[in-house]
Amino acid sequence: MEPWTRKYMPKRLEDLVGQDAMAKQLVDYVKNFSKHRGKALMLWGPTGIGKTSSVHALANELGLELIEINASDFRNKEHIDATVGNASKQQSLFSKGKIILVDEIDGLSGMEDRGGVSALAALIVTSGFPMICTATDPFDQKFSDLRKRSIMVACPAPQSSSIFSMLKRIAQHEKLDFKEDDLKSLARRSGGDMRAAIIDLQALSQEKGRLTKEDIEGLSQREQSESIINALLKVFKTTDPKIAMNAFDMVDEDLDRCKLWLDENLPAEYEKPADLARAYDMLSRADVMQERIKRVQHWRFLVYVNAYLTAGIAVAKDAKYQKFTQYRPTTRILKLWQAKQKYERRKAIAAKVGAKTHTSSKDALQVYVPYLKIMFQKDKAMAERLAEELDLEKEEVAWLKASS
């Protein structure tokens, strides 16, 4: 029984669903490799969206030999040199040119992979043929050399409507009995994974020749937890509000955390002052809506918070930026936590001083604690006696000794 994922693998780039931008960059890279020499093309994004099959389709369309190597099978320097190295130097077997595909570079990890990443990065520079790598998440520090030597191409998960179109095409070709609403439901359940949707369709319908609502309801929904980096790409690398609106739906972060990620990385992504100003205006409007929710408990405003943070920021720019930006985790949460820890220490010290001096913690904080800080910084012997008398913890002593 042939898997439908293989049977219906696209033979031409025009057969790809929902990846027009990626296909265009693929063609430009391979056809104009002379101007891209010394650089690989890095296709990255969630699994099952067509990264590998797109390279197969391109090679077939252009009549090029495809040398496909899975990085998890050839992991260390010796293996990389022996496989990729030879392929990058030898002429095509049929003298028609070739593409070298290094699939799933995420597989390069662990102690057994010594030198594998650096060896691959070095071969990219010297390769006489187009070299294309695929990855799910290439932003680990160990891939920094590869990123520097690659043209980064983000491949977002296709919309459920695009997946539905593909499923319908397959169902009609296989002469299945189906209802369009059931196919749409199956597409939505795939979580943006085209390959998984096709596998589910085959598993549920091939033997019976039909797809029913009951079959679909029996599936457990494939809830994919999307990384925050992929979510940021959906916002920053598009001007289409429909794509951006669902950016944070599958992210294991609340909107407050997502907002901090946006705040941290906006200045790095949006270079034009006008774009940046409009984007921060959207952030501020999301803040206003959140305050309204807190004040009057009107939770229907939450949809506006999400809209401002996603579609609002996406359309704030005149055009998407083609550059690669390495998104950084927000430091605001750590700073808030550190500030809170310092405040808690102040309160704890004030409570201990208040108990010894028979005053309130508030008065102790205002009257005595400032003098304590001076004594702890100027007089070591006095500091030791006071620490023992007040039964201060090490962290509290450190806070008193630290300069403001």
For 8-27, write each residue's pLDDT tens digit: 888 888 888 778 888 899 99
% residues pLDDT > 70 (the chain): 88
Residue 139's pLDDT is 83
Q: How confident is the model at residue 222 (pLDDT cuts 50, 70, 90)?
A: very low
Alpha-carbon torsion angle 362, 363, 368, 373, nearest 10: 20
Sign of CA dihedral 233, 234, 236, 240: positive
Distances (CA, A) of 261 to 37, 82, 258, 283: 35, 42, 5, 11
pLDDT tens-digit map of 332-375: 655 665 676 777 888 889 889 888 888 888 888 888 888 888 88
Distance CA 152, CA 322 (A): 9
Distance CA 186, CA 219 (A): 9
Q: What is the pTM of this model?
A: 0.55
Q: What strands, in cross-sheet order, belong to the sheet with 131-135?
A: 65-70, 98-103, 131-135, 40-44, 150-154
Mean pLDDT across 294-318? 89
Q: What is the predicted pLDDT for the residue at 403?
A: 64
Greater model confidence, 57 or 361: 57
Taking residues 69-74, report their average pLDDT.
69
